[in-house]
Chain A
Amino acid sequence: MKRHQYRADALIEVLHKAQELYGHLTEDRLLAIAHSLHLPPSRVYGVATFYHFFSLTPQGEHSCTVCLGTACYVKGAMELLATLETESGLRAGSTSADGKLSLLTARCLGACGIAPAVIVDGNVAGHADPEVMRARVRALLDED
């Protein structure tokens, strides 16, 4: 925050940084941010909930994000997602009870040339095959 000189317009940059450091944003952290940027908490909360990027709940240790953008959709992303939902027992957008895996969706990762695209723990995989992805998700869930 010091880097941004406690300026109110740095709010989004600060939220990015906080999420990067802690994984997700808790109410306490939002309050602390509001306090030091001299902003009303409602403003901070409003911004944090407006943008899809910020998460107010903890994310799983691993994440698997399936792109549902048009190019991926046309190339069978829905079937891919359904396979992974069945395999993990998770609905898209949720995290397993043991905190192992979050199954997420995205709208275009900009990797449409290699559709369908999936991000596993930050690495993009292209031409994703349901069977291969099913095995990867299984491996993430079973790992200890």
Chain B
Amino acid sequence: MEFQDLQIMAEQERSRRKAIRIHCCTSSGCQASGALELFHQLQAAVEAAGQSERVDIVGVGCMGFCGQGPMVSVEADGVLFEHVRPEQAPEIIASLDGGPCNVKQGDHAHPFFARQLHIVRRNGGVIDPERIEEYIAVGGYQALYHVLHEMSPAEVIDAITRSGLRGRGGAGYPTGLKWATVAKSPGERKFVICNGDEGDPGAFMDRSILESDPHLILEGMSIAAYAVGADQGYLYVRGEYPLAIARLQKAIAQARKHDLLGSQIFDTSFNFRVDIRVGAGAFVCGEETALIASIEGRRGQPRPRPPYPAEHGLWGYPTLINNVETFGNIAPIITNGADWYAGIGTERSKGTKVFALTGKVRNTGLIEVPMGMTIREIVEELGGGTPDGTPVKGVQTGGPSGGCIPEALFDTPVDYESLAEVGSIMGSGGMVVMDATTNMVEIARFYMEFCMDESCGKCVPCRTGTVQMYRLLSKISAGQATAADLATLEQLCHLLRETSLCGLGQSAPNPVQSTLRYFREEYERLLRKRVTINLTSR
């Protein structure tokens, strides 16, 4: 494949397009709402109306507004249909020629859409993720070509460093710095791993990206492999995501067929293969050292760092591990330049972040917004507040490692530092909105149960600490606890944070500590009205 071939393919693809293109979301969220049946009905309706020459029905990735699914959009005039039922397909086709149509229409000017900025998700809901031709038609794989022919590995790393991109898997480690470390670590072989384990409950950003634009991730991984000197990549995907796995398999096969993966890519000496590894339902496998153990076919238990995977990773070789969304930013940065990227976001958090907005909020779904937007803007403007208009109580970010942010602090901008300051974390991007009916002690108990079940059992503080904390929280919840129990709970928070082996145990107290910090009265209300016996002064 040469650059010209890419352009020819793109041109061919554009010229075979029909006058009208109708997008029907066929990603998981909409599939669960009956999108596949709708897709077939739309095709049948086009045929029945004798419009096959003029209208194309295209199955596309996620449009983001999952709560309103199934979603259908008409490309040229930008009409958006929500909650479409299969039997409404003929109506939609007739409406192309001005027929009456009672299908619920969405509004592109709604803040939910208008205030977003799509970088990683720019192809979501626009291209058919199962056809590489569509990705190439929107400029796909040109960044890889550019990198292989016109940039040295050091220049690529420099561009990523200057862009200010930080890891989207939770911790926000500077991506350029990580790449530079792997590049300079000595090793006969090197590996690139894409972390698609996404175990945080309430998060589905990575799933949607993988389902909607798999080639974007493959291209990002290839660029990374060139930069750090790797020839083999692994995509680790949760077993709970069968559609994402199927689409990735298809994408890899297509890329291989067109020599965009494999040997001598774009007629250079660069070789790169990618294999998929399917997770088997263990949250801790999202942690990088556990994930590596799992790829090696062992129990997914973390090991102490250092050495970091960048130096001593898969089978002992230097390994680059980044999150799905991190890889999704790479090709756009190469295409548009580091300065363009560095111009978006805040001083220390650049670019955009994809969030999964869920819970007690009117507009649920995926949003991609510039870093620095405030939580209030996200929840109230994009999200539209609670469905019944009652006040929002708080929002949980970062899953079991994160915290609850009360409404009073909603003017906090979303960037790594500001969220950490208010006791939560950016995390992978789950945002669960809570209203007055949500019991904060129950939420803390829920996350502790999660951490208890998911603790891999290797280190004692995490294995037994989470059990103790869970019991205490259950006791409080049942109205059986005393002030002394609450004090013990707080002590355990510190203990786990200081002594656990990996991030799971270290951050397990976060939901408890943040709810205690902002919603302490909910705990105290549940304590037994009993004078506490002070054992020490006996």
Contacts and interface: CB of A to CB of B under 8 A. Distances in A.
B202 A71 contact: yes
A114 B446 CA distance: 20
Q: Which of A7, A53, A69, A123 has the most chain B CB atoms inside 10 A of its CB?
A: A69
Contacts of B356: 71, 112-113
A129 B281 CA distance: 26
Given A106-B240, A113-B204, A50 B282 contact: yes
Interface in B187-202: 198-202
B33 interface: yes
Contacts of A16: 239, 278, 280
Contacts of A110: 28, 198, 203-204, 207, 238, 240-241
Interface in B334-381: 356, 358-360, 364-366
Contacts of B66: 111, 113-114
B69 A114 contact: yes
B31 A50 contact: no
Contacts of B301: 50
A74 B432 contact: yes
B482 to A, nearest CB: 26
B203 A112 contact: yes
Given A16-B278, A126-B33, A71 B358 contact: yes
Interface in A15-48: 15-16, 43, 46-47
Given A54-B280, A114-B69, A108 B32 contact: no
B283 interface: yes
A51 B300 contact: yes
Contact of A51 (B241, B281, B399, B434): B281
A49 B48 CA distance: 54
A108 B202 contact: yes
Q: Which of A47, A50, A68, A110 has the most chain B CB atoms inside 10 A of its CB?
A: A110
Contact of B299 (A9, A46, A73): A46
A111 B32 contact: yes
Interface string B424-446: 00000010111000100001001
Given A16-B239, A114-B66, A126-B33, A51 B201 contact: no
Interface in B377-433: 396, 399, 430, 432-433
A113 B67 contact: yes
B511 to A, nearest CB: 10
A126 B29 contact: yes
Given A12-B297, A13-B278, A73 B364 contact: no
A75 interface: yes
B365 A113 contact: yes
A97 to B, nearest CB: 26
B257 interface: no
B28 A112 contact: no
Contacts of A68: 201
A55 to B, nearest CB: 10
B33 A114 contact: yes
A110 B358 CA distance: 11
Nearest to A126: B32
B485 to A, nearest CB: 24
A52 B297 contact: no
A74 B447 CA distance: 12
B298 interface: yes
Contacts of B241: 110
Nearest to A72: B201
B297 A8 contact: yes
B358 A108 contact: no
How many chain A residues sit at the interface, stated as a range, is 35 or more
Interface string A106-129: 111111111101000001111100
B359 A70 contact: yes
A15 B198 CA distance: 21
A117 B202 CA distance: 12
A107 B299 contact: no
A82 interface: no
A135 interface: no
Q: Which of A9, A70, A107 has the most chain B CB atoms inside 10 A of its CB?
A: A70
B201 A52 contact: no
Contact of B201 (A8, A107, A114, A124): A107
A11 interface: yes
Given A110-B241, A113-B29, A113-B67, A47 B204 contact: no
B28 A51 contact: no
Contacts of A50: 282, 299-301, 456
Contacts of A43: 298
Nearest to B205: A110
Contacts of A53: 239, 279-281
A88 B366 CA distance: 35
B319 to A, nearest CB: 14
B297 A73 contact: no
Given A12-B277, A12-B280, A110-B198, A70 B294 contact: no
Contacts of B202: 69-71, 108, 112
Interface string A48-68: 001111100000000000001
A47 B298 contact: yes
A109 B31 contact: no
19 contacts: A8-B297, A12-B278, A46-B299, A51-B300, A52-B280, A70-B358, A70-B446, A71-B201, A71-B359, A73-B443, A74-B360, A108-B204, A111-B32, A113-B29, A113-B69, A114-B67, A123-B32, A125-B32, A126-B29
Given A9-B296, A112-B356, 12 more contacts: A10-B297, A15-B280, A47-B297, A52-B280, A53-B280, A68-B201, A71-B432, A109-B240, A110-B28, A110-B207, A125-B32, A127-B33
Interface of A: 7-13, 15-16, 43, 46-47, 50-54, 68-71, 73-75, 106-115, 117, 123-127
Q: Which 7 A-B pairs have the closest CB atoms?
A: A113-B66, A69-B201, A51-B280, A52-B281, A108-B201, A71-B358, A124-B32
